[in-house]
Amino acid sequence: MKFFITFFIGFLLYNNQTSFAQISMGGGSGSGTRTDKKVSFMPIPYINYDRSLGFSIGALPMAMYNLSKTDTISPSSITGVLGMYTTNESWFTMTFTRLYFNEDKYRATFAAGLGDINFQTYVNTPIGGNFINYNTGVNFIKVELQRRVLKNTYFGLNYMYTDFENTFDIVDNDTSSVTTLQTIGAIISYDNRDNVYYPYKGEIGNINLGVSPESLGNASSNTKVEIDFNKYFAIGKRDVIATRAYVGFGIGDLTFNQQFIVGQSDIRGYTQGKYRGNAMYNIQAEYRWNFHKKMAINGFAGIATVSGANETELDGTFLPGVGVGYRYTVFPKNHMNVGLDGAIGRDDWGVYFRIGEAF
């Protein structure tokens, strides 16, 4: 589920994709179940592993609450803080808030953070391909406001400021560069899911448009377009089949940090950053077997590809991913889960810590 915002973990750890990943927090119609407490608090540990960052440890305390006692239509709002450190000496911290109010006519999102990430990118050479290590220091802030304009349809505007400093590990070369991005965006969402945190049926579709014009101080103008559609099918009383299709592409020259990278929600099983380019496409499906009232096993599979790749021989490569995950319900009233996914891709694999579902 890509609920209201799929937060910046994937954005930063997998080279700053603006379609966030890994921490999903809602964004469906107003029929989601509300917490029955003044504040539901959960101090969640963060544990993760992938082939590039190594082991990650940290903490993710979250609070779920209702902005109004008399508003029984809006889903519960959520606020959290994340701090993490990895064995390859990367670190990251952020805070995030998603607010639902005025009988779910309005939704507001805020996220801000900073970090220092050691990652890698793939480069082809005459004697075979190789990975080059690089470091990205980053800080960011994003704000978004959406309003319901038709039944199950929302329109929103957002602004995002991101400051990157990239340094590539190339001997005898000055490879440091600083990039500041200011992006204004618009989003249209159609959402008739039956629950914003764990849908059993319905669908959600989003069209995201992000424009980074020179007039805001960007080095060059470009536009990033992302379109996704998720559909959910109830199986019996407890299980779910979830399906997802995604298309993302750039208009104009995307910067290095804006490019699409296969991994995270689209598609799991890729953690080395090899497949990146100016466009990405994928489809996938997941079966969610709720064998216990607080536990589930998820099985998933999908396929992705990129175009406009930095290394042209990678254009159009079919990239399958398959895996299995475990979920535990931390907020039973809303069926909000945490868990771990293990996935295998083409010559790659990864383990993913999840807050909520992948989509």
What is the C-alpha separation between 264 and 185, in angstroms, rounded? 23
CA neighbor of 77 nearest in space, from 97, 102, 95: 97
pLDDT of residue 177: 75
The CA-CA-CA angle for residues 288, 280, 353, to 5°, reads 40
pLDDT of residue 108: 94
CB within 8 Å of 173: residues ≥ 6 apart = none
Tokens of 287: 């079966």
pTM of the full predicted structure? 0.79
pLDDT of residue 184: 95
The CA-CA-CA angle for residues 30, 242, 318, to 5°, reads 130
pLDDT of residue 264: 67
pLDDT of residue 11: 38
The CA-CA-CA angle for residues 184, 73, 334, to 5°, reads 85
CA neighbor of 244 nearest in space, from 13, 21, 11: 21
Calculate the dihedral angle through the C-alpha atoms of 237, 353, 16, 43, rounding to the nearest 10 degrees. Answer: 100
Question: Are the C-beta atoms of residues 187 and 207 closer than 8 Å to each other?
Answer: yes
What is the C-alpha separation between 189 and 177, in angstroms, rounded? 36
pLDDT of residue 125: 61
Question: Are the C-beta atoms of residues 281 and 308 closer than 8 Å to each other?
Answer: no
- The pLDDT profile of the chain, 359 residues, written as one tens digit per residue, is 333 333 343 433 333 333 333 344 444 444 446 777 788 888 888 887 777 788 888 988 889 899 988 888 888 888 999 899 999 899 999 999 999 999 889 999 999 999 998 887 777 665 556 778 888 888 999 999 999 999 899 999 999 999 888 888 776 665 777 788 899 999 999 999 888 888 999 999 999 999 999 999 888 899 999 999 999 999 998 999 999 999 999 998 888 778 898 886 678 999 888 888 899 999 999 999 999 989 999 999 999 999 988 778 888 899 999 999 999 998 787 788 888 899 999 989 888 888 788 88
Domains of the chain: 8-355 (2.40.160.50)
Sign of the C-alpha dihedral computed for residues 328, 45, 58 and 198 taken in this order: positive
pLDDT of residue 124: 66
The CA-CA-CA angle for residues 124, 128, 130, to 5°, reads 60
